[in-house]
Structure 1
Amino acid sequence: MSLYTHEIELSGAVVCRIVMAHLHNNDLEYVVDEDYDSDVEEEPQLQKRDEMESLDSDFEDDLEFNKSSTDTTAVEFRNGKDIQGIPWERLNYTRDKYRETRLKQYKNYENLSPSQEQINKLRNLLWATSKHDIYLVGDYSVMHWSVLLRKGKEVLNVAKPVVPTLKRPGLFTQSLSRVKISSMAVKDNILVAGGFQGELIFKYLDHPGAAFCTKLTSNENAITNAMDIYNSPSGSMRIMAANNDAKIRVFDAVSFACTNQFSFDWSVNSTSASPDGKLVAVLGDSVECLLADSQSGKVAATLKGHLDYSFSPAWHPDGRILATGNQDTTCRLWDISNPSTSLAVLKGNMGAIRGLKFTSDGRFLAMQEPADFVHVFDVESGYVKCQEINLFGEIVGISFSPDSEPLFVGVADRTYGSVLEFSRRHYDCCLDSFFY
């Protein structure tokens, strides 16, 4: 196994480790160019979260003074240095022993009555929009990180008043103040963010400020739980916002007009439009998942099998398979042509399935638990072959780049907070696969 780690500490923020590993086994393989330079220009951009999750407190207290300050090379990894730079040799227990303890003691939030505080702290707030660009969310800001330049900058600050830059007759827009970000989506030149008080903010990435912003609802606890950017069947770009008030709202990405609003019987935690834009997966505070018509909101199918609330949908690029993640610690796969029963059930190790992502070529599915584990499944093997990425810390998001190459994993921890990048291994120019 060869490993190359470059630690990048941005002033006043978290440590950003860009990690690529080459695994010599029957699982996925990752590689990195050995000439990758670790020199970095520090910029006071990333904002540290007040509520950032960390390793268990007793473990973290021991690690606080041991914050790693040097890169981990392949030689150091082969000689036993931890992938996250955790100095196990100076602690009172081994990595294996701590893993055993975590598996026994980790509390998964389920039983159909999770508190909103528990839900909020486990949101997925990391997206990659190109092979080299990552967007990350703080409580009151959105940051852009360039893997290529190893440099970050703030692209949206909502700690101060947000004043929309576009003014049009008949456009319902309003200024917002101190928006705590709850959800985000990025596509092409568009970034949309939702807030904990029902806010919606639209931004063009190549223009300063927010183009459009509004408050979707004034209902108490009306959190904008999820955002999606997609193309409608007619080809026009749409923005979909899922809210705790049990409604989905659809906006035109050019005019910012609200084109549709759909109501459901329970809080909607996440939505995702199918690749052709005709169907919408609706997941929320129910053991059932729904498939709805994107134009009318009419329920086309009810997916039954999960035992708790669902939070993460993902469509295979061919539009025939839908994956759903649930607090019952499983991901279920559904054939939408016959949704009466799930095709397969993928099991996590210790927590709810909080994030799901297919590669754009449909070859792999990444499945994220709230902490410690990301699983990458080979679709062509029938989801039998899998690589397990084994870390420590709350996982705040996963994303493949649009070209299917890097996989980015965000880890929230006061000492070892990081973004890890895993590169897809190609054995030769003719074989496009992670596996032997």
Structure 2
Amino acid sequence: MAHLHNNDLEYVVDEYYDSDVEEEPQLQKGDEMESLDSDFEDDLEFNKSSTDTTAVEFRNGKDIQGIPWERLNYTRDKYRETRLKQYKNYENLSPSHEQINKECLQVTKGKTFYDFQMNTRHVKSTIVHFQLRNLLWATSKHDVYLVGDYSVMHWSALLRKGKEVLNVAKPVVPTLKRPGLFTQSLSRVQISSMAVKDNILVAGGFQGELIFKYLDHPGAAFCTKLTSNENAITNAVDIYNSPSGSMRIMAANNDAKIRVFDALSFACTNQFSFDWSVNSTSASPDGKLVAVLGDSVECLLADSQSGKVAATLKGHLDYSFSPAWHPDGRILATGNQDTTCRLWDIRNPSTSLAVLKGNMGAIRGLKFTSDGRFLAMQEPADFVHVFDVESGYVKCQEIDLFGEIAGISFSPDSESLFVGVADRTYGSVLEFSRRHYDCCFDSFFY
């Protein structure tokens, strides 16, 4: 994973992308909508409700993000065309895109599996490292948790309001004190990764921190610093059930280690070392296997109890950052900076089943619905793709927006899809609802 110093973090995405774009009188990468502020920022201050976009307003012609294209010197289509040409994908290994294109599945776009419901700019995400985008999680079709400036916010889609649930701008003092428990107070923490499940929120920090919080209790229950390594980013955290049924917390770190904690006692139960920085992990639905992705063209399947590598997945051409398991536990999706997602059948992992490709950049986030019907694939900016699993991934809905994407999440019942947009002006949460058809009309719509 690219190394960044702490003083580079504020708007790191803006600074990275701005450096690669020719100066033109148009919206720039990573700084997407900031140039629009002078035209109508004052109007927004007087009428905050106008910053939201509802489904009715969208159907009546309002931009999905509320961008006033009619006031600009270019159309949305023209800006999209320009952005596709200018966008520079971050690569570590400069893979051959001709080779990639030959392998990719031919997909039919234009489907609508999830209908737009609402875009709100009253809450927004903050990205502290441009490669890490697991910063938004939905715990129901109404409740979303997202990382803001040194905090975690809860957005209630039902009440259309947000509130802070964890503030790490000030020292974090753990509330849980037990004999022998290695916990410590932490100073100002920049959150690099997050996971939420049931009543548990876990956050990883840019200096190797790990914070555990019960959602129904104030403050942090447990926190610690995993390592004193100079480049110690906690790249990813995962909450899962072990084969015995006990809940576990897994932290993947830039020091090439995975650490496993018991969610009840907070004791570290296992620690596994690898040959490269671990960018992300994901435990299989039965808790027996762990997908390990990092600074390697290979992805690993490891035993969750011993850490022993059970299989090596070969096919990607750059570093990987996002794994996702199908609920049946047989299919694993892996997202890579080579701009592809590969699908693997773990019963025969020697070659990938299919290769899916994005439009502009690396695949930074992947999520299956809980019923296994859809797979959402997130690029670093502008595009989220929703694939129909039952069609063999050849039918796709393409969600087209502008801005850096901080995270995607389906609600546990698969009825809602949320997208976090990190942008100084147009940062927001987009909400989509699953479309249901009467069976007799399926053929008509499809």
Q: In proportion to residue count, which structure has more helix?
A: 2
Alpha-carbon deviation of 1:80? 3.5
Instruction: Write the distance in 2 (CA, Å) between the matches of 1:35 and 1:298.
Output: 37
Alpha-carbon deviation of 1:58? 13
Q: 1:93 aligns with which of 70, 74, 80?
A: 74
Deviation per CA, 1:36-94, whole angstroms, max 9, x where unpaired? 99999999999999999999999999999999926546665455432211111211111
CA contact 2:141–2:412 (8 Å) conserved in 1: yes
CA contact 2:192–2:205 (8 Å) conserved in 1: yes
Change (3 A) 1:206 1:325: same
CA contact 2:20–2:88 (8 Å) conserved in 1: no
* 1:109 counterpart SS class: coil
Deviation per CA, 1:273-308, whole angstroms, max 9, x where unpaired? 000000000000000000000000000000000000
* 1:104 counterpart SS class: helix
Q: What is residue 200 of structure 2 aligned with on the other side?
A: 190
Give unpaired runs (5+ residues) of structure 1: 1-19
Change (3 A) 1:261 1:117: farther
Deviation per CA, 1:209-249, whole angstroms, max 9, x where unpaired? 11111110000010000000000000000000000000000
Change (3 A) 1:183 1:116: farther
Change (3 A) 1:171 1:219: same
Deviation per CA, 1:87-112, whole angstroms, max 9, x where unpaired? 11211111111111110100100133
* 1:60 counterpart SS class: helix
Moved more, 99-108 or 85-94: 85-94
Change (3 A) 1:98 1:240: same
Instruction: Write the distance in 2 (CA, Å) between the matches of 1:115 and 1:172.
Output: 47
CA contact 2:14–2:30 (8 Å) conserved in 1: no
Q: 1:45 aligns with which of 14, 22, 26?
A: 26
Change (3 A) 1:74 1:324: closer
Change (3 A) 1:325 1:170: same
Change (3 A) 1:70 1:408: closer
Q: What is residue 117 of structure 2 aligned with on the other side?
A: none
Instruction: Write the distance in 1 (CA, Å) between the matches of 2:418 and 2:410.
Output: 6
CA contact 2:27–2:34 (8 Å) conserved in 1: no
Moved more, 272-281 or 125-134: 125-134
CA contact 2:18–2:28 (8 Å) conserved in 1: no
Change (3 A) 1:155 1:118: farther
CA contact 2:34–2:425 (8 Å) conserved in 1: no
1:113 is aligned to 2:94: yes
Instruction: Write the distance in 2 (CA, Å) between the matches of 1:363 and 1:113.
Output: 33
Instruction: Write the distance in 2 (CA, Å) between the matches of 1:309 and 1:34.
Output: 22
* 1:423 counterpart SS class: strand
Change (3 A) 1:42 1:274: farther
Deviation per CA, 1:341-367, whole angstroms, max 9, x where unpaired? 000000000000000000000000000
Q: What is residue 67 of structure 1 aligned with on the other side?
A: 48
Q: TM-score, normalised by structure 1?
A: 0.81
CA contact 1:426–1:432 (8 Å) conserved in 2: no
Alpha-carbon deviation of 1:33? 36
Moved more, 21-30 or 265-274: 21-30
* 2:8 counterpart SS class: coil
Instruction: Write the distance in 2 (CA, Å) between the matches of 1:110 and 1:248.
Output: 24
Alpha-carbon deviation of 1:320? 0.1
Instruction: Write the distance in 2 (CA, Å) between the matches of 1:71 and 1:126.
Output: 19
Alpha-carbon deviation of 1:186? 0.4
Alpha-carbon deviation of 1:131? 1.4
Instruction: Write the distance in 2 (CA, Å) between the matches of 1:200 and 1:44.
Output: 43
Moved more, 231-240 or 164-173: 164-173
Q: TM-score, normalised by structure 2?
A: 0.80
Deviation per CA, 1:173-208, whole angstroms, max 9, x where unpaired? 111111111111100011111101101111111111
CA contact 1:372–1:390 (8 Å) conserved in 2: yes
CA contact 1:48–1:138 (8 Å) conserved in 2: no
Instruction: Write the distance in 2 (CA, Å) between the matches of 1:165 and 1:26.
Output: 30
Q: How does 1:329-368 map to 2 (within 5 A)?
A: 329-368=339-378
Alpha-carbon deviation of 1:138? 1.7
* 2:79 counterpart SS class: helix
Change (3 A) 1:47 1:79: closer
CA contact 2:29–2:87 (8 Å) conserved in 1: no
CA contact 1:28–1:386 (8 Å) conserved in 2: no
CA contact 1:425–1:433 (8 Å) conserved in 2: no
Give unpaired runs (5+ residues) of structure 2: 103-132
Q: How does 1:157-196 map to 2 (within 5 A)?
A: 157-196=167-206
Change (3 A) 1:134 1:45: farther
Alpha-carbon deviation of 1:21? 37
Instruction: Write the distance in 1 (CA, Å) between the matches of 2:100 and 2:227.
Output: 20
Instruction: Write the distance in 1 (CA, Å) between the matches of 2:391 and 2:8.
Output: 12
Change (3 A) 1:48 1:386: closer
CA contact 1:31–1:424 (8 Å) conserved in 2: no
* 1:56 counterpart SS class: helix
CA contact 1:22–1:29 (8 Å) conserved in 2: no
The RMSD of aligned alpha carbons is 10.7
Q: What is residue 414 of structure 1 aligned with on the other side?
A: 424
CA contact 1:28–1:425 (8 Å) conserved in 2: no
CA contact 1:333–1:344 (8 Å) conserved in 2: yes
Instruction: Write the distance in 2 (CA, Å) between the matches of 1:38 and 1:429.
Output: 51
Change (3 A) 1:41 1:235: farther
Alpha-carbon deviation of 1:384? 0.3
